[in-house]
Chain A
């Protein structure tokens, strides 16, 4: 399979002090949607901007489409479509004018009308950018990248701050691009976005990759498939009990009186759990089971939640 983006030993130190990226290796294949998942400040934006050729790494190699930024910046710029985090486009230009401007920068741009249609922006084509809603502005930002007719699409936090409907609209746009053989690299701190949209994911924390794989692989490798959560009426009474001794339990977490057991087979664990609770005369006030998610993976790896807000 052809490689779209490759980097080795990527490091970035700002002002000789802050180490934003501390040794990242990545291989992203052609046609893949790859996600960099991590909390705010993990080094996602620094990493993607190095790959986009906008930041110089302190050390490490980057190859995009087999070329390096030092030798082929001109060609690479033609082939990449980039949407930065928080670009505020000129408010007094219309949507169409903005896209015409961006398309003029490329040697072989895509058609403005086709991009307007693909991103459902035709109705707003003659509206000033300043009058658009947040979701429309974000779609326009992606449109300025797509009008390049790129081989690789870079999206830095494309759905941050958007309502659920606008997020789903953007996901559809990314999938359409991928269906046309496009490669996508995106950053996000939404685990559901990474899980639904990305073929493969690298979880980044403190400037390092702490796990990499397809979403099901990560969930399978790092936790049980399922999570059993329960709470008791007298929260602390049974805190001392070692729940990990129950059959099938792989790990245990306690948070605000809520116990989370990561398990392989809920139908083995739950009867044993209920029996144990009866034995201790503890009263159950809450019991759920669910599929494990990337959030659980992240919590297991770092002991923190992905979004601490």
Chain B
């Protein structure tokens, strides 16, 4: 081939050469991930608002109610006033609400459930009309009878004392908040990492990324880091909510709670990564994620204590990562346990996270 003069080269005005540092890609990946999450309203709802609503709903449903007042009808008659005074004088008067009415009105009210008991007093004594099939009616009869006897001067042969237990630290909401925290970390870790990865794989975005010099470890690290940032917000929000609304007392150190939270987020990030390491379709990974989470929803003691399951199953239940996370969070938040005392549970979380991370990297499909 004859040597030809090179055509004149059209160059753009020289730009100063920009050089990227080692961690620029990681920082950008994390920044863009956070921007994407922030622009996804449903993420905000499921990660932040939903757990609060759940805590609020369950907290209200199981709140300690003021002692029930028993509605009682007293039938009008010559001795009605005496009966009324006796009840008002009794030590139980605060728990009994008395109305004086005509016999038909009292019976009508009783039939409709407005009154638990109808009391009549005549020269022969006191007559109760109650329904043995209605627990509150049975209770009312005993209660009113006790009140009348006591007011009339009966002495109890044994002195007894009762203490009600509804102090912060022992209520259902105290049990619930750490469980919700653990469940939320599992949910958001599994969905936030597993689902996001498969979506990016399906869009061929992962393949596009590995066609650049991007370090794969930077990418995965940024994804896990984004979970940690969200974890901080989740833990802070839910704890603050518990403290402000339900007066939950946080006994343990905040640093210990955050450390366990971070370990939980990373551990479930690893499990999420493994779950999503091969799946090509959103539909298949959704099924897989639910399959992995289902046993933990049931067994790991989110809403009720797993001690109710047969003893034989307990070691297996305690080996689940969510059980370890919930137990550790409960011990630290409710009992002020030290990190040191939680080493076993920390090990369970670390093993789940570590093993699934290693397996995920081996099986991971970028395209």
Contact = CB atoms under 8 A, between A and B. Distances in A.
Contacts of A106: 20, 212-213
Contact of B205 (A53, A89, A107, A114): A89
A168 interface: no
A97 B38 CA distance: 14
B11 interface: yes
Interface in B173-207: 203-205, 207
Nearest to B13: A114
Interface residues of A, number: 37
A87 B203 contact: yes
B204 A86 contact: yes
Given A52-B211, A92-B40, A108 B17 contact: yes
Nearest to B200: A90
Say which size band chain B's interface belongs to. Answer: 20 to 34
A131 B215 CA distance: 29
A100 interface: yes
B247 interface: no
Given A54-B211, A179-B10, A101 B205 contact: no
Interface in B192-239: 203-205, 207-214
Given A105-B25, A107-B20, A82 B32 contact: no
B35 A93 contact: yes
A104 B213 CA distance: 10
Interface string A95-120: 00100111111111111001000000
A53 B1 CA distance: 31
Interface string B20-57: 10001101110010011001100000000000000000
B204 A180 contact: no
B203 A88 contact: yes
Interface string B313-356: 00000000000000000000000000000000000000000000
B18 interface: yes
Contacts of A80: 211
Contacts of B29: 101, 104
Contacts of B367: 54
A46 to B, nearest CB: 13
Contact of A92 (B1, B12, B18, B36): B36
Contact of A104 (B17, B20, B35, B204): B20
A114 B15 CA distance: 9
Contact of B212 (A86, A90, A92, A102): A102
> Which of A80, A104, A109, A114 is packed against the most chain B CB atoms within 10 Å?
A104
A78 interface: yes
Nearest to A148: B212
B25 A104 contact: yes
Given A88-B204, A93-B35, A93-B36, A108 B212 contact: no
> Which of B1, B210, B214 is packed against the most chain A CB atoms within 10 Å?
B214
Contacts of A114: 12, 15
A88 B18 contact: no
A74 interface: yes
B9 interface: yes
Contacts of B211: 52-54, 77, 80, 82, 84
Contacts of A181: 9
Contacts of B19: 107-108
A144 interface: yes
B265 to A, nearest CB: 22
Interface string A2-23: 0000000000000000000000
Contacts, number: 89
Contacts of A109: 18, 20
Contacts of B32: 90, 93, 97, 101
B20 A87 contact: no
A89 B212 CA distance: 14
Given A90-B32, A90-B36, A144 B24 contact: no
A271 B215 CA distance: 68
Nearest to B3: A1
A88 B205 contact: yes
Contact of A84 (B1, B27, B208): B208
Contacts of B212: 77, 82, 102, 105-106, 148
A54 B36 contact: no
A105 B210 contact: no
Contact of B39 (A74, A92, A101, A110): A92
Interface in A68-90: 74, 77-78, 80, 82, 84, 86-90
Contacts of B1: 1
B207 A104 contact: no
B220 to A, nearest CB: 15
B35 A97 contact: yes
B128 to A, nearest CB: 70
A101 B207 CA distance: 15
A159 to B, nearest CB: 18
B204 A84 contact: yes
B213 to A, nearest CB: 4
Given A93-B35, A97-B35, A181-B9, A144 B208 contact: yes
Contacts of B35: 92-93, 97
Interface of A: 1, 52-54, 74, 77-78, 80, 82, 84, 86-90, 92-93, 97, 100-111, 114, 128, 144, 148, 179-181
16 contacts: A52-B211, A54-B210, A77-B212, A80-B211, A86-B204, A92-B36, A93-B36, A100-B28, A101-B28, A103-B20, A105-B20, A106-B20, A106-B212, A108-B20, A109-B20, A180-B12
Interface of B: 1, 9-12, 15, 17-20, 24-25, 27-29, 32, 35-36, 39-40, 203-205, 207-214, 367
Given A87-B207, A114-B12, 11 more contacts: A54-B210, A82-B211, A88-B205, A89-B208, A90-B36, A105-B25, A106-B213, A107-B19, A108-B18, A109-B20, A144-B208
